[in-house]
Amino acid sequence: MKNPLFKIIYLSFSVLFLIGCSSENESKDEVIVDPPTQEDPLTAANAASYMVDASAAKETVALFYNLKRLAKTKTAIGQQDAFNSFYQDAGGESDIKKNTGFDPAVLGSDFMFITDKNNNEQSNNWFYQQEQKIISDVKAAYAKGIINTFSWHLREPNNEDSFYAADMTAAQKSTAFRSILPGGANNEWYKKKLDKVARVVSNLKGTNGELIPIIFRPFHEFDGSWFWWGADFCTPDEYKKAYQFTVDYLKNTKGVHNILYAFSPDNSYTTETAYLSRYPGDQYVDIIGMDNYGDFNNQGQTGADKANAKLKILSDYAKAKVKIAALTETGYRVTTTTPAITDWFSTLLYSALTKNDIQISYVMFWNNNKDGYYVPNSTAANAADFKTYSSKSKSTLVNGLPKMYEMPK
């Protein structure tokens, strides 16, 4: 997320409203099942063979399978920090639930505070408290049948003060990313950050001791240069090597087997070739993603159609390679000075997600905060527009999800 208010938004974490299992999921017994075809060879039996981690935990394999199947009929709706970032800091239920009566189908979290240099893992430490909130959120989401995804706004390796390139010197920007590669001056530093990620993810467990699956998308929006891992600061080969190292270290060195790996540039591409220019390879990617705010920023149906064309590139590649396609971040931020766009959700976004026979498994909106929102609560001006969008035939909140962590019987 490149919004300059991001730092403020993230530092406005409110007290967690810990959400337990709700009755809205207790009666669900549906599982996704679809026989293989020549065009889609995926089966419950062979799903792991199409994944980055062929040794993934069974719930993680089921999530891969069910996300792929879900996209044939539905797009799951998600939001970053839905359980602890609210419009006007209102607290309570997620803003999506305040509006619709149901929680999101996807919960977005971040490893930023978890790996922060100031996190000393002591109970009175603010950063460690955020870590514990995030872990509680993930477990609560999993118990409800919600899908969990993590981004990582990793602070740069020099002073660890910021993830924005604009906050770094020219010399730092030119060396930071390649310094974390194997043999680089900061590779050990980076491995220690991954060690913390591995420890947290490996200890995400459900009530029966099973590993909770997560989606992880490292080094996102890399085609822009607002982050220190952006295109101006590393070559395509260096980017690929860093992504590959990250996956190999977590999967092979640390033995983490409850992750699906997502690849998500921003929206700068218009061709498959451009999209794949920094792609680390099919053996390293489960989810073919895109972050896209720009095409939805007051560009009307023209922008929505541009977004749809880019999503079709993802969808077509995902179909051909048995991957999952997703709109990994998007939104239009409404504030007291930036009014909502009429029918932004129900017409513009929905058309981008559904036109031209595309299959998009999930869409993630960025977080709400005191001063603005990406998803309206029940009192916001465009509340009805979101509610209409969420109830359309190809949209789903948590109440419309099948059992994502179980294979069909």
Give yes or no: 221 in active site: yes
Q: Which residues of 183-216 are buried (b: 16+ CB within 10 A; e: fewer)?
A: ebebbeebbebbebbbebbbebeeeeebbbbbbb
User: Within 13 Å of residue 329, how many CA atoms lie on the same side as its CB?
Assistant: 26
φ and ψ at 202, to 5 degrees? -70, -15
Interatomic CA distance for residues 405 and 141, integer angstroms: 12
3-state helix, strand, coil in the chain (%, to 5): 40, 15, 50
C-alpha Rg value of the chain to the nearest Å: 20
The one-character DSSP state at 90 is: -
Residue of 363, 374, 384, 387 lying closest to 87 (CA atoms): 374
Among residues 24, 221, 238, 272, the one annotated as catalytic is 221
CB under 8 Å to 358, separation ≥6 — which residues?
Answer: 308, 311, 312, 314, 315, 325
Compute the distance between CA of residue 193 and CA of residue 49 in angstroms, rounded to an integer. Answer: 29
**Residue of 59, 93, 131, 329 with catalytic role:** 329
Residues identified as active-site: 221, 329
